[in-house]
Amino acid sequence: MKKAIIFLGPPGAGKGTQATMVSQSIGVPYISTGDILRSAVKEGSSLGKKANEYMSKGELVPDEVVIGIIDERLNRGDCKNGCILDGFPRTIVQAVSLENMLKEKGLEPVVLFIDVPDEEVVRRNSKRRICDRCGRIYHLETNPPPKDGKCECGGFLYQRNDDREDVIRERLRVYREKTSPLIDYYTKKNSLFKVNGSGSVEEVHSRVISALKKIDKA
């Protein structure tokens, strides 16, 4: 059965970094609810204005809003051979809705759970910079941008407004309360594969590739 590969883990675990690498190598769409919501905020749409009330404080956007976004995105027709989901689901309600959506499309959910300690979460998020043109993710120390402070594509780099230390700690608290129950939920369904997210991007990537091989055989 074709798969929807879900990247689960605390904020700043490296989900976006790893998920985009996997999407490019296996050629299935990368879908990030965080990116979709941030685009809406940038456009200033009514969705963006509503989402920003929650995102700027590190809270979750209401379930019905993100479920609607994912439903619309999965219906676009490019996910027939699978897809990669980053940042969705984040609650049990979202996970149950996703299962129904995927069933209709003949896709099976499998979860790559990337775990890193809290202090690493703060360190990674607070020094993250993102390209406003191509979306490439940098880290000022571990994955620095070119010397002129711009992206390789020439785009400008920005810092997310939820990457302040107080907001990062709130995102972590929300993750523990609302998202971490998904670890148990998917473990009981035998759909969860754990990856140690500590170490360099390349080290984590080779663990992700090994987990994907196990998933292929399962």
Active site residue 129: no
Number of residues near ligand AP5 (by CB under 6 A): 36
Pairing between strand 137-139 and 128-131?
A: antiparallel
Active site residue 176: no
**Active-site residue identified among 3, 73, 129, 171:** 171
Residue pair 47/62 in contact (Cβ under 8 Å)? The answer is no
CA distance 49 to 57: 13
Omega within 30 of 0 (cis) for the link into 62: no
Active site residue 128: yes
The stretch among 9-17, 99-107, 144-152, 188-196 that binds ligand AP5 (CB under 6 A) is 9-17
* Site track for ligand AP5 across 125-164, x = CB under 6 A: x--x--------xxx--xx------------------x--
Q: Is 58 in the site for ligand AP5 (CB under 6 A)?
A: yes
Residue pair 125/163 in contact (Cβ under 8 Å)? The answer is yes
Q: Which residues contact 72 (CB under 8 A, 6 or more apart)?
A: none
Minimum separation from the CB atom of position 104 to ligand AP5 (A): 19
Residues in the chain: 218
CA distance 61 to 70: 13
Contact residues for ligand AP5 (CB under 6 A)?
Answer: 9, 11-17, 33-34, 37, 54-55, 58-61, 66, 87-88, 90, 94, 124-125, 128, 137-139, 142-143, 162, 171, 199-201, 204
